[in-house]
Structure 1
């Protein structure tokens, strides 16, 4: 997604907060949804120029310490989800049991970022096989939706719209849960869901950031109501009595509890072939969409061989296309050609190299990445060290490349990422999303006068409509996907399960985490709390071309001297824009004394929490 499109979807408060942070040097505090316009206005902002408090040790920009434990660890974007995951481990569940419980809980607790109407991807260290394994839980487009019909729904710019039935693909999450549980679950399937069903029924208190985005996303749907076939059901679920829940208020979703109960009792078949599938087909028939029960029944999660590349002694693992995981490895391969440690932490030279590496990787992403069942990506060439050397040679240290091109051989999203590890040594890196702004805007009926309590994804927006493009829309095809889990090993042993949420931010964010830890010696929490950069304006897999050299956004914590030097190199700098992602990490540490332990970290930019025991 282009920056102008992203900013148009951001709440006004977020833009104001970003502009305020650019003026002052302190942390940005977003306006609460319950504040009046006068209270949210920049002239009334009471925190200008105020930075963080001082810590007695560790990096001064770290907001808290890494959490340590010996038996298990969970890091998620919501404290209650973390507690449910930890309780699942304590009840004898595996890391996969805990991951499923966490994901189900987040579908209720954090509907702005994920839900069972979306797709899921995972990487895990399997201690029994002593290897990294991965799955691709993305769904395909409806077989009854033709390219011609999809083009008929294109927007004025010639791309698929952000919302509505034309963007809905088969949700892959439930089958991903089922397949992972069949292989690695310990607790009975039904028992995994019990605490989450109870949670949905009794409700939970709404935290700050989720309340903020829920209100703004619903307002965004209202502005786009003309292209959304049904606008009533989402309001019934997420804005009862005419408004979204405010910070500190209790929010419940009994409709989702009923859906979870059907899944708990009937397994994945309840969703893809049983009563839920029947309700979904009836809903799309009613609103004029294309999803059918046959589309759902045909879906299967794909277990895949992950890609890997070594970065200064660390093996970094990613999933291949149709995801953008290869981009993380390409960025790191290019950066490895430079002495980032010698260039200096948060220096202009270091950020310059990293951002240029991103630009080069993203041109390959736009050119090649697509569903491998329809188009072959030259992975071996793109991931090779020889290719990285050729690409690195294009980077000049005295100025920005005028134009980055793909080699020979949109994308802001709302996503949740979490990490889980158990006492047996299994480590899980899991990411799940509905994509942009909660999803398509469509919440299905249940066939009995209620709803199913979840929203369908809008991943189909990421298809191209250009003939000959690898990612061009086709019936039964999976679109290019932004969501990617990350995992790293050292000397054949697991090191960390980590990820950074946020559309096109994910590969550049993951690379920054690895660089912060490997090159600059930061611990998991410090690596996530460090100021980030984000480059926007590269070519996209939808066929959208690059916008010159793009815009390099920097968080307010980046030193002013660094910003001035980057401008001198020719970078167009943008203010903090709220798009720097959300991060979780569980790291395994081998100790000189005693057994290995886990260190867990959570994102300072989110409502989340990391716990270990």
Structure 2
């Protein structure tokens, strides 16, 4: 194998570091990144590019996100010299409670069907970013996604793998109760019953029609208009729990990012209910450790993994809707508390075991423009293809509701 220049990339990979002078757009699907670059080439900002990419990714990588996703954004605005945080995560239907789910016999939330669905935050998040920092209209920003939805695009290799794997999961859910999943199956599975494979052309004209409705109403039709009414009606008819007020009362929230200093860097995250605090806690635990110089050593990996495990354990125990959290963020990031967690890490480790790693349902994208504005953005189904519930909003328009 040829030698690799550590100045370009320190690992033996066919991918090299990409440098740019005027704009950067990055995501897991090349077409998505190209959309962001095209927006900035046409005079748009990093925020414009992020919104355009976010609207396209439910089409280009439907395994990782959907029109019913949650989204979170960290936005650096150069003129303000300030970092803004946007939490556009969803909320559970008012008619559904933990007690009701337990009464149905569940000990944990199922992965498919109506139970894991939430009021989606992504469209409201796009509109809010555009309203506060955008320079182009939603119609302009949604145009690339609409074009690909109507004219087809080739399914990427990495997306096709997840498509094949998790279509089987939705098929099992259909065997138990087909009605909520029928439109999803019609939209994402070929007429012969097989999933789309790498290189095959996929199109979704219903998604294009829905984006046009969202652009024309600043995404209001999704929460307080015709789309919302059809979603709620379909939910009621097929065993769901949504009511009109679930959508009407929804608004994304601007939040103050939380931070953790780590070896010369300040790392920023969205506060709970987002799980970014997991990263900050892990870094806080590692802060007091002597790390080996060789990052690829077993000792280095061991310490990092143990810190992450402890941080995730605390996240699962304490992090929730901030209105109901009993433990404060400041307590979880308190140096004394993190030192106590650090003390639990020893040289011992579990013996490696064979497993079937979870295949996630999240996409990430980031953008930066020549003015110095930057966006770090997550959009998530939580699980691949989410809950597999899709609403036929009308004959020529639709969207899928993932279990975020």
- TM class by smaller structure: over 0.9
2:248 aligns to what?
Answer: 297
Q: Does 1:127 align with 2:78?
A: yes
2:162 aligns to what?
Answer: 213
Partners of 2:73 and 2:377 within 8 A in 1 = yes
Q: Does 1:395 align with 2:373?
A: no
1:422 aligns to what?
Answer: 369
- Select which of 331, 334, 351 maps to 1:384: 334
Q: Residue deviations 1:58-114, cap 9 Å, x none?
A: 224233221111111001111111111100001111111100110111110100001
Partners of 1:205 and 1:251 within 8 A in 2 = yes
CA change 1:111–1:249 in 2 (3 A) is same
Q: What TM-score do the two structures reach when normalised by structure 2?
A: 0.93
Deviation at 1:450, TM superposition (A): 4.9
- Select which of 449, 458, 462 maps to 2:395: 449
Partners of 2:70 and 2:121 within 8 A in 1 = yes
2:303 aligns to what?
Answer: 353
CA change 1:369–1:425 in 2 (3 A) is same
Deviation at 1:376, TM superposition (A): 3.4
2:133 aligns to what?
Answer: 184
Q: Does 1:458 align with 2:366?
A: no
Distance in 1, Cα, partners of 2:29 & 2:312? 31
1:316 aligns to what?
Answer: 267
- Select which of 337, 343, 355 maps to 2:288: 337
For these two proteins, the number of residue pairs brought into alignment is 394
1:413 aligns to what?
Answer: 360
2:216 aligns to what?
Answer: 265
CA RMSD of aligned residues (A): 1.9
Q: Does 1:172 align with 2:118?
A: no
- Select which of 245, 257, 268 maps to 2:196: 245
2:144 aligns to what?
Answer: 195
Partners of 2:162 and 2:359 within 8 A in 1 = no
Worse-matched range after superposition: 387-396 or 273-282: 387-396
Partners of 2:69 and 2:402 within 8 A in 1 = yes
Secondary structure in structure 2 of the residue aligned to 1:333 = helix
1:372 aligns to what?
Answer: 322
- Structure 1: gaps (5+ residues): 1-52, 403-409, 460-613
Distance in 1, Cα, partners of 2:330 & 2:283? 15
Partners of 1:151 and 1:160 within 8 A in 2 = no
Deviation at 1:347, TM superposition (A): 1.0
Distance in 2, Cα, partners of 1:130 & 1:301? 23
Deviation at 1:154, TM superposition (A): 4.2
Partners of 1:165 and 1:228 within 8 A in 2 = no
Distance in 1, Cα, partners of 2:221 & 2:339? 50
Deviation at 1:215, TM superposition (A): 2.0
Q: What TM-score do the two structures reach when normalised by structure 1?
A: 0.62
Q: Residue deviations 1:404-436, cap 9 Å, x none?
A: xxxxxx986310001101111111000001111
CA change 1:326–1:411 in 2 (3 A) is farther
2:354 aligns to what?
Answer: none
Distance in 1, Cα, partners of 2:291 & 2:189? 48
1:66 aligns to what?
Answer: 17
